[in-house]
């Protein structure tokens, strides 16, 4: 068999080896970029003579060059490269760079390896001595190689001399790989957003996604790979990854793609043609024909810059003696981006959520290689278009990167930084704690205009392509003078940077636009009075009136409101959302993808689609029923389980019948033509806003004392049974959600027993005092006997006395439902009360908190979809160190306060729902709250009305009919009878216009006419009957004259002759036939 035949045969096996990717679409020129990578590796020869050390030794590069050669059909050369590379795979202390790609090549192509090469592989991997590494990426790469090798040659043999346990017990590295994959989507990669080294996390994930023998690891790796792409895509500005970096920096020029990872982003996302393809072999696995591609939503996130937006993310890593969190944001506009990072030392709660211990961090990850904040603008292909300012650290004699002595605060296009730099004191760890008492700025030339007030006022104003920049230092700095950078000695300093798009300024020239921008900046307010305090403080009000205040070592404040970084999403931007420790949702125009990191599934929910239905024709004003489920199709939700709503009846009325899917339309009286209505069909879909959702649909909703959270967030409730209390599924459900719900939860309560549900919710998941939220549930009371608690936040048994306490309950001996809040002073500051709750009837209740300031907001109670009361500016400190309780208060001291009845569709949103959203919850199952909707219009054709204005006029020898023509393609049928009651016979159909001539009328006979209008909807009712008679023949000529005895006679008329005279001697030619004159 030829080499090419071998390759074709092997590719036939790929569907069994490669993980099927999510439905994907690449940019139209992805194939061109992939070809460019393959062209490069096929036109170069790897460094065959370099082994053991060096970033381009044969073990690091040879396998990738080989994959490119084999892809293009040059198998022999490719195999020679693999042979050379495998001998360098176990290369001293950086073996991960070769052990991993070596196993990637093995799993792809071992079917065409000669036995000699297979033996060489075994000799190298069995008993290798370097299955570990000194950095996160090295440990992951080495573990990937070790795990995959162990699956081929056995764990004992492979790990005889070294192993990849990395503190997780399993010498093959499998447990360590699972640890990395499990933590990635919750805390980001250890080398998060590294422009240099992130590719050495992406690559092993891709290899594992394709070839890991364990299908769960394959799935985790595929989802982790997509997650890392999703993390970066919204930061991509045509060649720049505009996000704070660890172990890498955003640097100019735009087509340089500095750092090995950035060239990979170019391959995935596009950008200016690289100035050099050097190191592109590291990305060859994505250029191969078997690459499954990237979900189209991620591609859109990397390329759609039609609007400005904020992108946020959170990363966490253990550094030295502390756990650090990195709160990142990017302000992305069509032409430029500004990004920054805030660090905090954090603790981790039992559910994995974070809690901030201090913003005065002692360490920072890989400080000397990092970049905390910067600005970049689109200036292709090779513009110097990045600005950054920092105080660097020193590590092993090298000064650069960032230190812990700078804090930042950003709001969209404005950024504050404060510096508190001590004297150097000998620290030298790679944790950013070595101080250098100066700031350094990188400010490129190439501006269209600039104003240098640095020496007099500490200000610079610059106009580049696509951006205007104002830079202000609280001290003048005399050594800028148009250079591409500056260094200013200081121990305490403040910096303000504000940016704008040139489109904001209509002036004709760059100099005029910059002057206008400068004038707006100089009108702003800066308070630098606290910059020399022990903890430097800086306050600035920007051009748009936003006031930013930053004190060193503390969270920033915007408009008087401290930023609560714990509430930031793990990933958040217009194309995706992942709440803290939650699941990732990608938003497309017609679908949503849910990456569930609890059960490791990817779920696609496609928007319902329209199905062509039969034309709908009404019969006058008779109601007509239309099955909406026959007009919609959904690949994931059966059409009879979609949620339907009917709206906007036109020329008629519409209602949805009790089955939830049949619309009854009644045409309006006295109307003909096209009537109709609109309807929406919403499918079942996960809602990223859910904190928890209990639908009680399980076979046993309380099996094992657990209430299942179906939100995907894995926040199951704990059932507490006290005494003789019980809880069980019950078939009673609210009618409004019966098409989705088949079961509720029945809780029983008596003086000697009760049941309730609790769940611990840390502030890192949902901050009930300082974040937006909405609680909602259906409920049905058994009796009025007790105070039936539905929702309780606190540590007591209700009604105050135990500190801050919130309770929603139905009052005993009444039909009232009441929302109370007792503050920490035991004062009642919320008391919203309404009536209307009847025994044995289902009701829907909701409580919404809309944050307005620190621990302050407006709380609203809703009953059956309607707001019944709001208390504004409530300040509280709701306790979240103990669980939230559903169906009772926290304590068990008063059992009569636990709920007695039924609850269903209980949900807690980490969102302040709108009034319309809450109203929907009262009519729609929660399962549909995250669904996608299709709106359709149903046209109902009604036959024409009875024609109006029918007349019949004798005009001998005819009778002429006339009427009011309705137009619009209406045709008419004329019917005639000799009696007003009929029977009528049709004279002619299909008549257009407003007239008809009856030429068959007999003089002297009375005729009755009716008219029927017709359209595509059918025949309308007949018109009113009219009659007409032609005059009879004038018999006086022969009744008393010589013609009396004639058996034949004729009346001769001369149309148009109107003179009254007698004609004599007028010749007439008459032809006789056998017709008898009546």
Structure tokens at 914: 């709108």
**Token pair 């009744």: residue:** 1039
User: Would you state the structure tokens that stand for residue 745, as one six-digit string?
Assistant: 């939860």
Element (H, E) at 609: strand 609-610
815 shares a domain with 735: yes
Are 20 and 132 in a shared domain? yes
Sequence-separated (6 or more) residues with CB below 8 Å from residue 57: 47, 50, 51, 88, 91, 98
CATH number of domain containing 1022:
2.60.40.10
- C-alpha 311/C-alpha 1017 separation (Å) is 54
Q: Is residue 519 part of a domain?
A: yes
Cβ–Cβ under 8 Å, residues 163 and 150: no
User: Is 577 among the domain residues?
Assistant: no
Q: How many CB atoms lie within 10 A of CB 171?
A: 22
| Domain match, 67 and 114 both | yes
What is the DSSP pairing of strand 901-909 with strand 805-810? unpaired
Question: Do 532 and 478 fall within a single domain?
Answer: yes
Neighbouring residues of 1071: CB distance < 8 A, sequence distance ≥ 6: none
Same domain, 245 and 159: yes
3-state secondary structure of 153: helix
Residue 747 to residue 725: CA distance in whole angstroms: 8
772 is a domain residue: yes
Residues 7 and 152 grouped into a single domain: yes
Q: Which residue has the tokens 């590379």?
A: 85
Which residue segment(s) compose the domain that 1021 sits in? Answer: 943-1029
In a domain, 588, yes or no: no
Domain assignment present for residue 401? The answer is yes
Would you state the pLDDT for residue 612?
A: 92
Task: State the sign of the Cα–Cα–Cα–Cα dihedral 772, 778, 782, 783.
Answer: positive
Q: Is 616 contained in some domain? A: yes
Same domain, 322 and 238: no
Q: How confident is the model at residue 11, as a pLDDT?
A: 29
* Strands 616-617 and 933-942, bridge-based pairing: parallel
**Crossing angle of helices 136-153 and 174-187, rounded to 10°:** 140
| Cα(95)–Cα(203) distance, integer angstroms | 15
Structure letter (DSSP) for residue 295: B
Within a 10 A sphere around the Cβ of 109, how many other Cβ atoms?
21
- Do 547 and 624 fall within a single domain? no
- The mean pLDDT values, 10 residues at a time, for the chain of 1078 residues are 30 31 50 97 95 90 98 98 96 90 99 98 96 94 98 98 96 98 95 94 98 99 98 98 92 91 97 95 97 96 98 87 91 99 95 94 91 96 94 92 97 99 82 94 94 95 98 91 86 99 98 99 98 99 99 98 96 97 97 98 98 90 95 95 92 94 94 92 97 98 98 97 97 95 96 95 96 99 97 97 95 98 96 98 99 97 98 97 97 95 99 98 97 96 92 95 90 96 96 96 95 91 96 55 49 59 60 48
3-class DSSP state for residue 1048? coil
428 and 479 share one domain: yes
Nearest to 565 by CA among 324, 761, 773, 369: 324
CA angle at 848 for the pair 844 and 852, rounded to the nearest 5°: 170
* 690 CB-side CA count, 13 A: 27
pLDDT of residue 1061: 64
Report the distance separating Cα 903 and Cα 790, nearest Å: 9
Which structure tokens are listed for 824? 């920490």
Residue 101 lies in a domain: yes
Instruction: Return the structure tokens found at 31.
Output: 């194939």
**Structural domains of the chain, count:** 5
End-of-domain residue from the set 924, 954, 978 = 924
Residues in the chain: 1078
User: Looking at the domain assignment, is residue 26 inside a domain?
Assistant: yes
Give CA–CA dist 840/824, Å, rounded: 36
Domain harbouring 802, CATH code: 2.60.120.200
Same domain, 231 and 275: yes
Per-residue pLDDT tens digits for 605-627: 999 999 998 889 998 889 999 99
Torsions phi, psi for 396 (to 5 deg):
50, 40
Domain closes at, from 221, 254, 288:
288
Model confidence pLDDT, tens digit, residues 699-725: 999 999 999 999 999 999 999 999 999
Sheet holding 561-562, edge to edge: 525-527, 537-541, 547-551, 557-558, 561-562
Identify whether residues 916 and 966 lie together within a single domain.
Answer: no
Write out the DSSP string of 505-568: ---SSHHHHHHHHHHHHHTSEEE-TTTTSSS-EEEEE-TTS-EEEEETTS--EETTEE--GGGS
Q: How many CB atoms lie within 10 A of CB 823?
A: 17
Q: Are 165 and 231 within one domain?
A: yes
The domain boundary residue, chosen from 924, 953, 972: 924
């Amino acid at each position: 068999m030829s080499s090419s035949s071998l390759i074709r045969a092997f590719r036939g096996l790929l569907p069994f080896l490669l993980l099927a990717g999510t439905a994907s679409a690449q940019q139209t020129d992805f194939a061109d970029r992939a070809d460019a990578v393959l062209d490069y590796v096929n036109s170069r020869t790897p460094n065959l003579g370099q082994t053991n050390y060096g970033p381009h030794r044969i073990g690091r590069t040879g396998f990738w060059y080989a994959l490119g050669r084999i892809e293009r059909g040059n198998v022999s050369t490719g195999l020679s490269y693999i042979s050379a590379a495998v001998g360098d795979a176990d290369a001293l202390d950086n073996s991960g760079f070769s052990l991993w790609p070596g196993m990637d090549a093995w799993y792809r192509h071992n079917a065409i390896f000669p036995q000699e090469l297979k033996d060489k592989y075994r000799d190298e991997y069995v008993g290798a001595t370097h299955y570990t590494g000194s950095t996160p990426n090295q440990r992951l790469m080495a573990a990937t190689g070790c795990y995959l090798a162990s699956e081929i040659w056995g764990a004992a043999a492979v790990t005889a001399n070294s192993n990849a346990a990395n503190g997780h017990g399993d010498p093959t590295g499998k447990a360590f790989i699972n640890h990395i994959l499990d933590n990635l989507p919750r805390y980001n990669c250890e080398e998060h957003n590294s422009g240099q080294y992130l590719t050495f996390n992406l690559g092993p994930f891709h290899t594992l996604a394709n070839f890991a023998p364990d299908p769960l690891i394959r799935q985790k790796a595929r989802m982790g790979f997509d997650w890392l792409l999703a993390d970066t895509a919204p930061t991509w500005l045509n060649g720049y990854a505009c996000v704070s970096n660890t172990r890498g920096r955003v640097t100019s020029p735009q087509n340089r793609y500095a750092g090995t990872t950035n060239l990979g982003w170019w391959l995935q996302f596009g950008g200016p043609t690289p100035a050099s393809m050097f190191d592109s072999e590291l990305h060859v696995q994505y250029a191969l024909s078997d690459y499954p591609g990237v979900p189209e939503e991620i591609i859109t996130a990397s390329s759609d810059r039609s609007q400005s937006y904020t992108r946020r993310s959170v990363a966490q890593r253990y550094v030295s003696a502390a756990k650090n969190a990195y709160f990142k944001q990017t302000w992305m506009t069509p032409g430029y981006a500004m990004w920054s990072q805030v660090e905090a030392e954090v603790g981790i709660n039992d559910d994995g959520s974070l809690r901030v211990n201090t913003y005065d961090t002692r360490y920072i990850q890989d400080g000397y290689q990092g970049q905390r904040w910067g600005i970049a603008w689109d200036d292709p292909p090779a513009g110097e278009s990045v600005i950054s300012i920092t105080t660097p650290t020193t590590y092993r004699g090298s000064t650069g990167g960032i230190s812990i002595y700078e804090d930042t605060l950003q709001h969209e296009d404005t950024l504050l930084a404060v510096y508190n730099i001590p004297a150097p004191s000998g620290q030298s760890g790679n944790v950013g704690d070595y101080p250098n008492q100066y700031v350094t700025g990188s400010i490129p030339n190439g501006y269209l205009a600039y104003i240098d007030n640095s020496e007099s006022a500490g200000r610079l104003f610059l106009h580049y392509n696509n951006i205007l920049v104002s830079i202000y230092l609280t001290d003048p700095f005399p050594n800028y003078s148009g250079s591409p950078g500056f260094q200013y000695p200081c121990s305490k300093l403040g910096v303000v940077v504000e940016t704008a798009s040139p489109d904001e300024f209509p002036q004709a020239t760059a100099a005029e636009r910059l002057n206008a921008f400068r004038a707006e900046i100089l009108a702003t307010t800066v308070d630098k009075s606290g910059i020399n305090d022990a903890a430097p403080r800086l306050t600035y009000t920007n051009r748009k009136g936003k006031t930013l205040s930053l004190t060193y070592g503390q969270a920033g404040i915007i408009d008087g409101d401290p930023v609560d970084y714990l509430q930031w999403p793990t990933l958040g931007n217009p194309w995706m959302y992942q709440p803290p420790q939650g699941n990732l949702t990608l938003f497309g125009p017609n679908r949503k993808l849910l990456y569930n990191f609890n059960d490791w599934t990817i779920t696609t929910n496609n928007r319902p689609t329209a199905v062509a239905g039969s034309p709908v024709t009404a019969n006058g004003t008779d109601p007509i029923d239309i099955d909406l489920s026959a007009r919609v199709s959904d690949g994931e939700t059966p059409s009879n389980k979609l949620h339907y709503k009917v709206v906007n009846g036109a020329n008629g009325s519409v209602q949805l019948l009790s089955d939830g899917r049949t619309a009854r339309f009644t045409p309006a009286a006295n109307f003909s033509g096209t009537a109709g209505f609109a309807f929406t069909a919403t499918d079942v879909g996960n809602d990223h806003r859910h904190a928890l959702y209990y639908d009680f649909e399980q076979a046993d909703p309380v099996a094992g004392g657990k209430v299942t959270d179906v939100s995907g967030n894995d926040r199951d409730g704990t059932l507490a049974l006290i005494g003789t209390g019980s809880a069980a599924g019950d078939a009673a459900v609210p009618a409004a959600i019966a098409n989705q719900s088949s079961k509720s939860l029945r809780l029983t309560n008596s003086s000697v027993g009760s049941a309730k549900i609790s769940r611990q919710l840390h502030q890192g998941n949902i901050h009930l005092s300082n974040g937006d939220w909405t609680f909602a549930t259906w409920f049905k009371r058994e009796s009025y006997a007790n105070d039936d608690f539905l929702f309780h936040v606190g540590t007591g048994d209700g009604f105050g006395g135990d500190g801050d306490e919130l309770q929603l309950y139905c009052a005993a001996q009444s039909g009232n439902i009441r929302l109370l809040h007792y503050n920490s002073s035991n004062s009642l500051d919320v008391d919203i009360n309404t009536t209307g709750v009847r025994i044995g009837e289902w009701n829907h209740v909701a409580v919404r908190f809309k944050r307005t300031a620190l621990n302050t907001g407006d709380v609203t109670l809703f009953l059956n979809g309607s707001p019944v009361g709001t208390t504004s500016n409530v300040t509280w400190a709701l306790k979240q160190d103990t669980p939230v309780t559903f169906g009772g208060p926290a304590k068990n001291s008063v059992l009569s306060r636990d709920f007695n009845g039924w609850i269903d569709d209980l949900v807690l949103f980490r969102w302040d729902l709108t009034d319309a959203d809450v109203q929907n919850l009262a009519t729609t199952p929660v399962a549909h709250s995250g669904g996608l909707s299709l709106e359709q219009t149903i046209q109902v054709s009604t036959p024409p009305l009875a024609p109006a204005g029918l007349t019949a006029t004798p005009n001998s020898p005819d009778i002429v009919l006339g009427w009011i023509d309705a137009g619009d393609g209406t045709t008419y049928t004329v019917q005639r009878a000799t009696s007003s009651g009929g029977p009528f016979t049709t004279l002619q159909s299909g008549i257009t216009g407003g007239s008809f001539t009856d030429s068959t009328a007999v003089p002297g006979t009375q005729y009755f006419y009716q008219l029927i209008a017709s359209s595509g909807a059918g025949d309308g009712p007949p018109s009113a009957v009219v009659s007409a008679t032609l005059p009879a023949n004038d018999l006086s000529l022969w009744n008393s004259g010589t013609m009396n005895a004639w058996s034949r006679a004729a009346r001769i008329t001369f149309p148009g002759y109107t003179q009254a005279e007698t004609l004599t001697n007028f010749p007439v030619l008459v032809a006789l036939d056998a017709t008898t004159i009546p």
